[in-house]
Structure 1
Amino acid sequence: MAEMRLLSEYEVVSVSPGVIKSKVNGESLSIRVFLVPLHVFESDGKFSVQVTAVTAVDTDKPRFGEVCSPQKTTGHNGVPRSQSKS
């Protein structure tokens, strides 16, 4: 098996988001997903790219709420059904 080599020089020419349109409880959501390259590897003339995903969400019914942080996102368990508004 050939050894993978980390390439230190590469150029990101453009980044286009993937867009997911969704409707939840009468609310229209537009979810944009950007794949941002972190590392590029080369092995036997073939390239592999390690990426991170960045998401952004827009809604047609904006409302005030607490600001999201990675700590809240990874540790949030959601709202139990008995407490959710119907």
Structure 2
Amino acid sequence: VVTLDENKLCQQARMVFLSAGDGPMVAHQAAESLKGQAPTLEAIRAAAEIAASEDIDPGSDIHATAEFRRHLANVLARRALEQAFERAADNK
């Protein structure tokens, strides 16, 4: 979820990953990195990378390795953030 201010900069962001570990994982650092940022691809990619590398701690099991789960989290976070920024812009 992304909220934009009157200048269309990120005022607030919330990201939660499900099925990446034992329970829901909140991406606090990634969300914080977006505050005050314009919705650029660079900002979105950086936040997705932070989420996948620093905010979540996935385990490996018979279904997927931790490395694959991190990769998938990065890709899905990027897609979700692009969509969230579009929705937030449409609501302004």
TM-score (norm 1): 0.27
TM-score (norm 2): 0.26
Which structure has the bigger radius of gyration?
1
**Which structure shows the higher strand fraction?**
1
